[in-house]
Amino acid sequence: RPARARGRGGGEGGGGGMSPQRAHAKVEATVPISSPEDKREYRRIVLPNGLTALLIHDPEMAAGGASGEDDDEEEDDEYSDEGSEGDDYGSDDGMEEGEEGEAGAPNGKGGGGGGATKKAAAALSVSVGSFSDPASANGLAHFLEHMLFMGSEDFPDENEYDSFLSKHGGGSNAFTECEHTCFFFDVHRASLRGALERFAGFFVSPLIKAGSMEREVQAVESEFRQALSHDGNRLLQLQCHTARDGHPFKAFFWGNMKSLRDAPASAGLDMRKQLLEFYDAHYCAPRMTLVVVGMETLDELQDMVGELFARVRPAPTPAAALPDDFKSQGMPFEPRMQYILPAVRDVMQLHVMWCLPPLLKAYRSKPADYASHLIGHEGRGSLFAALKARGWATALSGGVGDGGHDRSSNSSMFTVTAHLTEEGLRRRDDVASLIFQYAAMAAREGPQKWVFDELRAVAEVQFRYHEEEEADEYAVNLASNMPVYAPEHAVSGDYVFEDWDPQCVDAIMQHLTPANARIDLLAREDRLAEAVFGVPKPNGDVETMEVDGDGAEKAATAVPQLPEGALPSEEPWFGVKYSAAPVPAALLERWEAEAAAGGLHSESREAAAAYPALTMPPRNEFLPTNFELLPSPEVNTAKHPEHGYVPGVPPRTVSDGDLCRLWHKGDAVFRTPRACAFLSLSAPGHNADQRSIVMTELLAKLAADALNETTYMASMADLEAQVRRSGERLEVRVSGFSHNLVALLRTVLAVATSPPVKDDRFEVVREETARAYANANMRPMMHVSYLRLTCLRHATYDIDAVPALLEGLRPEDVRAYAESHFTKQSRVEALVTGNVGAAEVAALEAEMAQMLPRAGGKDAALRPMQRVTSLKEGVVTLVRCPCKNPKEENSALEVYWQVGPDDDNTRAALDLLEQAIGEPFFDTLRTKEQLGYSLDIGLRLTHGVLGFAARLQSAEHPPEHLSDCLHRFLAGYSETLRGMTDDEFEKYRSARISARLQKDASLLDESERQWAEVWEGRYLFDAREHEAAALARCKKEAVAQLFDTAIAPASTAQRKLWCAVYSRQFSERAGKDGEAGAAKAACNGALDAEHLPPGGIFDWRGERGHYDTPAAR
């Protein structure tokens, strides 16, 4: 969905402007239902102008530590390189998110947390979205969302809102949905009023400046260009394009320069007038829902909201108070149609969609959740079990999604998505038939109240023991849902299962037939050519030419090509070619007959008997029933003498033998019946080469595959379990309700230490893994980071070589590797936290001793060194290549400055530099210079080596231009830094100190933070104290000196990497002809240049000096 990404910064709290005064106007007030375990207080009010607000007083926020007004800035862990290289190797399907490991253990928080502060937050949702765009200006609602940030009458500076949040430890964002637009922020708890004053201006008196329109339409264009190569966006836009004429679905909701500037100008439209008219028509108080989370009392929050938002204009007419009604528009799609479109990434997906009536108001009975639970189930007798047993699918999802197109006042889209194997793509009609067969079987069984009761039981315990989320995320969810839920359910609506409605459930299940379905098939062109259009694979000796990573042409094996006219149509905005045709009558009749009979015509009775039958799901044995809390362990009560927070009690060592080092920490803070258990399995030589890493990856995937039915059933009871490769090790993670956690952990650990390697499952997992690696680095921002990490980390290998390596592996290779590296020689490091007693932990250790009878021991051989390349002083190393996707429209650049080995004082200086530079970097390069939508800057920590880096992406400019703009900004920032007042610097330092002391939101957050210390072998559970002390010591002069020496463009002491990937329009610059221009941009007249082709990285880093740090055992 279109979203406006905003920056984050830090600084002093407090807010100027209007003085507090009590709002005397009468308001309607109710108290919504909340969990008895929830310490927060709630009040729902309706202001006289019709605006609805939910006020949330958080007593823990009010009781937070006294580390200064600015103790809340969140650490951006995305900038750290510590921990897993797993995502560099495509461990997720396609690496669509977060390809660079975060600080500490994978997905862990790394640093910060554990202190005593929380952020305040607010979110406001307006009941209008892209469905209301006029035909003359596609994307207008999204464009208006951008323009509201550009100042108000009270605060006319277009950067005032962002600047205030940045200086007060906060950040903001917004997104445009089909029927609502949501704006939100978080901020230091003491600065809520100042942030709300500026925020309220969006909805009271926005300027919508004509002078800002060109820049912001360019920002919308940049967003659109960034989305072009995303397969999910391409499919959604095709679905919109093929909706019925006149339906609100049939539009282009992103907006771009063509729809918002060029086409309106050609038609003689005044776009500012269009924006103002849209605002006047839809932005009024009765269509707004506001959520505010703060430390103030409910009365104080009510006074604040009443004063600031009473000025929002009421509806000019009774009709204007109501959102646009789309229910009368009918269903968006014609049934019995099938569409084929090519994918950018190597994915193979079959989407079966049914249009249902709107179900938003049926939240008390949630009938679609019932259907989703059955069809998307992955346990015994499930649809997924049948597809998996045949080797046709690797994943399955089913239900009504969360997006605005999926659930709206017009309709509900129930979609089943099967992620196919190569054989599944060839058997796609049989895959669809099994989907129809399962829906028919469930319909014949009739509505089952025990299924509803199970869903209700899980929802009740989830709501009662809900783990807190970040305040801004919580506010967004509540504000978005308030227009749907009754006042008493403003907080609990997502978890309400009050009314069993078998008639509605039956109507849904009876509707899920072949005759009512729409089919979308998505796969790469060569796979479509072979599996759908019958083009044979060329002989293995047939070659074609392609551009390699070094920008040179090379021979490559030819692939099947789509026949002429195979995809005769084209979606106009994304340029997606596709075919559309009615489902053949014979195929429809076959599907209906097979659904009625329960079997595939292509399978004999004997063959079908070898596969699991389709049945209703079994009852869930993992549902928790025991919520008794163990006695609270000891707690600290003494506050830190300098920063005012109460240090937590660290985990204690239960055992430290040859087999296992086991840590345990009870729960004295959250007092919830939840627990976490994290384990690391390592072995000698486990990171010796790329082959062993890939073997470990396969083992993890095979273990997860074997455990899938068990872990899925557990997940339905809010008990999550995962086995994965993280770096060079196997990692096991189990978290959730403590009642059945240890029993689940035993099951998972038994499989993880000795995974079954069945030939048929091996082939499926190997194929899936090869596709994931092939999909790596398809996003330019991730690609440049991969190039940097490959240059620096010697444990990072050639990701493009993995598919060929996988091709040569056999099941017996993996069995032998598992036996020699894990079953016989593993050493375990584990952390168990929460509502689990010492006796259970001790018993667990004894069981692990039986599972791993010949442990590897604690010898140093188990702890290989992590090696990081040392860059040369006075030299910039350039690594350049074309984008992996030859049609990619975005180029990206990452510039990295190496500083040296990690120490508290240097890290503190870089921390403070990141804190201070972020907002002006964003404002200058994105907002003012409009380089692109995606950019970031900050500290990098790579296996104990500190650095600093900036990343920029642009669809308009080549990396050389991005580099010039970056250097120009940095050259000016040196003067800014030296001219910073002591008061300004103190604001940044206060904010950064408090980032390290920010309160963990949940037991899981606390456990992940502590696991990061165990994973990295640091065991510095008081790391935040050390970091806070170093920040308190750090002087402005130290930050300025570090910047001028290591980063400033004029410095000849820089040790610099310059990594660039070039879009299709600039791809010719990636070769040798572009070396001179790139060197000029990278050196900036101060450094010598060396050019390093990507294919030469591995030899180059072996010849360079390096830093060595011990890997965690």
In angstroms, the CA 97 to CA 745 distance is 27
User: Cα dist. 684→63, 120, 820, 822, 1113 in Å?
Assistant: 48, 48, 10, 9, 10
Which amino acid is residue 59, in one-letter code?
A: P
161 CB burial (10 A radius; 0-12, 13-18, 19+): buried
Phi-psi region at 1076: left, alpha or beta (left = phi > 0; alpha = psi -120 to 50): alpha
Which amino acid is residue 867, in one-letter code?
A: R
Which stretches of 943-981 are assigned E, i.e. beta strand? 945-954
CA 477 to chain centroid? 16
DSSP β-ladder status, 348-356 and 517-523 = antiparallel
User: Cα dist. 790→85, 87, 550, 783, 945 in Å?
Assistant: 10, 13, 15, 10, 14
- Determine whether 592 is an active site residue: no
Phi-psi region at 446: left, alpha or beta (left = phi > 0; alpha = psi -120 to 50): left
Place of tokens 């880093």: 1101
Q: Using an 8 Å Cβ cutoff, are 778 and 91 in contact?
A: no
DSSP β-ladder status, 945-954 and 891-901 = antiparallel
- Determine whether 197 is an active site residue: no
In angstroms, the CA 953 to CA 958 distance is 9
Three-class DSSP labels, 1039-1104: HHHHHHHHCCCCCCCCEEEEEEEECHHHHHHHCHHHHHHHHHHHHCCCCEEEECCHHHHHHHHHHC
In angstroms, the CA 751 to CA 754 distance is 5
DSSP run (H or E) holding 736: strand 729-737
CA angle 164, 169, 174 (to 5 degrees): 70
CA 61 to chain centroid? 26
Q: Using an 8 Å Cβ cutoff, are 577 and 567 in contact?
A: yes
User: What SS3 state is found at 29?
Assistant: strand
In angstroms, the CA 656 to CA 663 distance is 9
Find the catalytic residue in 145, 454, 829, 960. 145
Residue 593 structure tokens: 């007959």
Give the DSSP letter of residue 407: B
Find the catalytic residue in 69, 74, 82, 216. 216
Q: Give catalytic residue positions.
A: 145, 216
